[in-house]
Chains A and B, each alone.
Chain A
Amino acid sequence: MKANKIPIGPFHPLLEEAEYFELTVDGETVVDIDMEIGWMHRGHEYISEMKTFTQSIYLVERICGICSTSHPIACVHAIEDIDNIEIPLRARYIRTLVGELERIHSHLLWLGLAGHFIGYDTLWMWAWKYREPVLEMFEIISGNRNHYGMMRVGGVAQDVDPAKLIELHKHLDMIEKKMVMIAKAAKDDPVLRSRLKGVGVLTHEAAVAYCTVGPTSRASGVPGDVRLDEPTDAYDLVDFERIVLPNGDVYDKLVVRVLEIIESIKICRQCLSKLETVTGPILNNVKEISPGEGIGRYEAPRGEVFHYIRSDGTNRPIRHKVRAPSYVNIPSFKASCIGIPIADALITLASVDPCYCCTERSIKIIDKNHDSCSFDLIKASREKTEQIRREINAD
């Protein structure tokens, strides 16, 4: 049978960010994959060299709408690393609180999309419904549901109003109750387990070889987690577990994220409790940055965000390098997608969480003779789930 090529993207309703995937299929099996990026190259690193250090924080906040506090945290860590700047204790708890709330809302976003892709629209609607209170918490803390503008070199820009702490605790109580329910439903559902177990496996060896990060690598038994490996902010002051699973399939990636939501809630609760008692300044006055170089990193929802900044002693960086987690996770598709059925390709591509949106999607299969036919990836994915559901119900 001759191999056909399936192009996805670069501007495709499946993809929130512009990326291009070309799947080569032999019958129903994916035999090769190629990825191309660069469609959204906006020159952030170059622009940052023309901004002051403070302006750079706002610039990197706009790299990603979902990780809109992970980049600023990594950026201020890099600047603080140049001069070993300490930040006040209260600011450490606020940074950690905002970072963990971002992890909860990002993982819920992914959970909803994953449910939608495989025909679990109830999971999609629940996950997104309970993401709303997290965004409300951001609004209470910062005034914004996204792009919070909280980070500054030497601390944070805004304090958390002590009068709002009870309200934040109530939001967290409600989210926790629902998350425990969703975690149980996701872990115990036999159809979900059958649909995702053994699908799109990224082996431990491949995860190491491709230098993957975040839940993508932790679901393959690679334990890296910046929060525990190099604890900054309040991560050495709070109690939480490192979530690592061994199998590398989509199911393990789902369970890692679900369990991380529960751990993040634990961290947020400890931070809120500490903010009731820890008082003091939230910002050290940093007047200038010495010549030198600094590395800043943060465990974003998708994995390690890396920033490198070099200063010549002026108020602007002379070099600002940014590496987002998807940049190292996406190449691992070469290891996880080859050999899988086409019906599993969509959820495997989605499993590293490369910012998918959930509108209607349809692609064309183009063969070597330029014949084409319509092929709906999400339809194929949902049909496979439905088939598993029928088989389980028949038993």
Chain B
Amino acid sequence: MAEVEQFMKDMGAKIHAKIEKKRRLYFNVSNDDIQEIAEYLFNKIGCRLSTATAMEMYHGIEILYHFSHDKTGQYFCPRLVIKDKKNPKVNSITSIIEGAIWIEREMFDLWGIDFIGHPRMEELLTIHHPGTVKNPLRFKEAA
């Protein structure tokens, strides 16, 4: 697909561990590069940020962004792994994509990931749940 080939040509130096499937491209990026990747996908080739999936693995906390290129049905999925599980911090992409505000707030709420530069870093889903466990989707020993 032309968009994928062009993306690899322009951003190839910043992406690692690429997994390519039919209409899906998963790849790893570093925290330093995520904003540049988001800028390229959203503003340059017109992708829409569908959502982002956070998950806790033993090797760290993963954030998998899902960018949809609606013209072709292609999904670009940058994966960011945060090794510091005690104090997870990443750069926010809300300055590039307004639609990421709730998506990042939800990850802050359920996983405790701090997004640097987010305009309103507060709970989204559990804000009115008195007495509930903080960051409920973290492993218990790390929460």
Contacts and interface: CB of A to CB of B under 8 A. Distances in A.
Interface of A: 10, 36-39, 41, 43, 45-46, 81, 84, 208-213, 223-224, 226, 229-231, 293, 295, 297, 304, 306, 308, 310, 318-319, 321, 323, 327-328, 331
A221 B106 CA distance: 29
Given A38-B127, A295-B24, A306-B66, A230 B73 contact: yes
Given A229-B70, A310-B55, A319-B53, A295 B75 contact: yes
A159 B83 CA distance: 49
Nearest to A40: B125
B129 interface: yes
Contact of B102 (A231, A306, A331): A331
Given A38-B125, A39-B128, A293 B137 contact: no
B71 A208 contact: no
Interface stretch (B3-11, B29-37, B44-52): B44-52
B115 interface: no
22 contacts: A37-B125, A209-B97, A209-B98, A211-B48, A211-B50, A211-B97, A211-B98, A212-B99, A223-B70, A229-B68, A229-B71, A229-B73, A295-B66, A295-B75, A295-B77, A308-B53, A319-B55, A323-B50, A327-B51, A328-B50, A328-B99, A331-B98
Contacts of A230: 23, 73
Contacts of B53: 308, 319, 321
Given A36-B127, A211-B50, A308-B53, A327 B102 contact: yes
Contacts of A223: 70
Interface residues of B, number: 35
B30 to A, nearest CB: 20
Contacts of B75: 295
A304 B73 CA distance: 12
A77 to B, nearest CB: 12
Interface string B117-143: 000000111111100000011000000
Nearest to B79: A293
B137 A46 contact: yes
A392 to B, nearest CB: 38
A38 B128 contact: yes
Given A41-B125, A224-B68, 5 more contacts: A36-B128, A208-B48, A226-B73, A310-B55, A328-B102
Given A306-B66, A319-B53, A211 B99 contact: yes
Given A211-B99, A230-B23, A327-B102, A304 B124 contact: no
A84 B123 CA distance: 37
B94 to A, nearest CB: 11
B101 interface: yes
Interface in B80-103: 97-102
A319 to B, nearest CB: 5
A223 B77 CA distance: 22
Given A229-B73, A308-B66, A38 B51 contact: no
B101 to A, nearest CB: 7
Contacts of B51: 306, 321, 323, 327-328
Contact of A38 (B48, B100, B101, B129): B129
Contacts of A210: 98-99
B128 to A, nearest CB: 6
A38 B72 contact: no
| B22, B77, B101, B125 interface centre (most CB from chain A within 10 Å) | B125
A209 B42 CA distance: 9
A293 B124 CA distance: 26
Nearest to B26: A293
Contacts of B70: 223-224, 229
Of the candidates A45, A223, A308, the one having the most CB atoms from chain B within 10 angstroms of its own CB is A308
7 tightest Cβ-Cβ pairs between the two chains A and B: A230-B73, A211-B99, A38-B125, A323-B51, A321-B53, A224-B70, A209-B98
Nearest to B55: A319
Contacts of A226: 73
B113 interface: no
A128 B101 CA distance: 36
A9 to B, nearest CB: 11
A26 B99 CA distance: 27
Contacts of B64: 308
Contacts of A331: 98-99, 101-102
Contacts of A81: 21, 24
Contacts of A304: 50, 68
A4 to B, nearest CB: 23
